[in-house]
A = this chain, B = another copy of it.
């Protein structure tokens, strides 16, 4: 097979070195040597410290800040000019994903802009995790493999052997995601329909579907400030739910999100390590290392990536 003839190389940007190490270990490749520094004025400087000519190069970088995004673009540019044969941007957290349409006139579609920037810089393919919206796949014309944290969550929740489960979407936009988890866990579903009151003095949370007396899993893809998911938690509690678990792939955790979450009535918060954050005993971290490491190997060897999800999911859930 062709891929045997290209050197596999994995390099880590500075956004998430811990995860990069884990997936490199899974792929049985040391991280390539690289210098990433900042000049006094904040400009980023990068240089590959080993030859990358002709390599099948994977660059690991979440784009959760403008600095991280720019660093990714510069890494790609350097790799391209240094004659890497194929450049895959491995993006555990794809920033700006929520700006994926014009919700109001004269707004940008920054998620598409970012896709264009990454392509222009010279990436040949993308490996991502739980894109906020699956249509972002179509923002790219280069091949993209989107992997899902769903098997990780399902396995972990299954092991708790809870009965009487309901999966709750905290808003209208997340119903499809909630439904996917509910189906795997054979759980029922609920949706929160949040409305401003008539004189805009407050907000009412209507819960469509039944949560009373049930163990509730509230699932979202991103927890940012944690405000809306904690509000959802309270509403679900008020309706009589028993234990409440919060699930989200991407722990953006802005401002005092961690404090807000761990102080909420939720029993546990379950996230992945797509973005590094301060650990806490009430926050369970499921690592993406194995899934991304396997995906990199499959891409390199021209093997199917979609099979990995099945492999990871426990037999009883398949």
Instruction: Identify the A interface with B (CB < 8 A).
Output: 1-7, 39-49, 51-55, 64-67, 69-70, 73-75, 77-78, 80-83, 85, 95-96, 98-113, 116-117, 120-122, 125, 133-139, 141, 143-144, 146, 172-173, 175-176, 178-179, 182-183, 188-191, 193, 195, 206, 208-209, 224-225, 252, 254-255, 299, 302-306
CB atoms of B101 and A134 under 8 A apart = yes
User: Which 10 A-B residue pairs are closest in the complex by CB-CB distance?
Assistant: A54-B302, A135-B135, A208-B209, A112-B138, A40-B254, A78-B108, A101-B134, A105-B306, A48-B106, A53-B302
Q: Decide: A74 near B43, CB < 8 A? Known: A302-B83, A303-B53.
A: no
CB atoms of B2 and A5 under 8 A apart = yes
- Contact sample, A vs B, 29 pairs, CB 8 Å cutoff: A1-B5, A2-B54, A39-B254, A40-B254, A40-B255, A42-B66, A43-B98, A43-B99, A45-B99, A47-B107, A49-B106, A53-B302, A66-B69, A70-B70, A73-B117, A75-B108, A78-B108, A85-B302, A101-B138, A116-B120, A116-B121, A116-B141, A120-B120, A172-B176, A172-B179, A182-B193, A190-B208, A206-B209, A208-B208
CB atoms of B175 and A191 under 8 A apart = yes
CB atoms of A105 and B304 under 8 A apart = yes
Residues of B within 8 A of A135 (CB): 100-101, 133, 135-136, 138-139
A197 to chain B, nearest CB (A): 11
CB atoms of A304 and B54 under 8 A apart = no
Q: Decide: A81 near B69, CB < 8 A? Known: A2-B5, A303-B53.
A: no
A219 to chain B, nearest CB (A): 13
Please report the C-alpha to C-alpha distance between residue A139 and residue B134 in the assembled complex, in whole angstroms. 12
Among A40, A54, A106, A120, residue most surrounded by chain B Cβ atoms (within 10 Å): A106
Q: Which B residue sits closest to A4, measured CB to CB?
A: B5
Please report the C-alpha to C-alpha distance between residue A53 and residue B6 in the assembled complex, in whole angstroms. 15
Among A55, A143, A225, residue most surrounded by chain B Cβ atoms (within 10 Å): A143
Residues of B within 8 A of A189 (CB): 193, 206, 208
Residues of B within 8 A of A178 (CB): 172
Please report the C-alpha to C-alpha distance between residue A4 and residue B110 in the assembled complex, in whole angstroms. 32
Please report the C-alpha to C-alpha distance between residue A252 and residue B41 in the assembled complex, in whole angstroms. 7
A208 to chain B, nearest CB (A): 4
CB atoms of A110 and B74 under 8 A apart = yes
Q: Which B residue sits closest to A56, measured CB to CB?
A: B2
Residues of B within 8 A of A175 (CB): 172-173, 175, 191
CB atoms of A82 and B136 under 8 A apart = no
Please report the C-alpha to C-alpha distance between residue A121 and residue B208 in the assembled complex, in whole angstroms. 42
A75 to chain B, nearest CB (A): 8
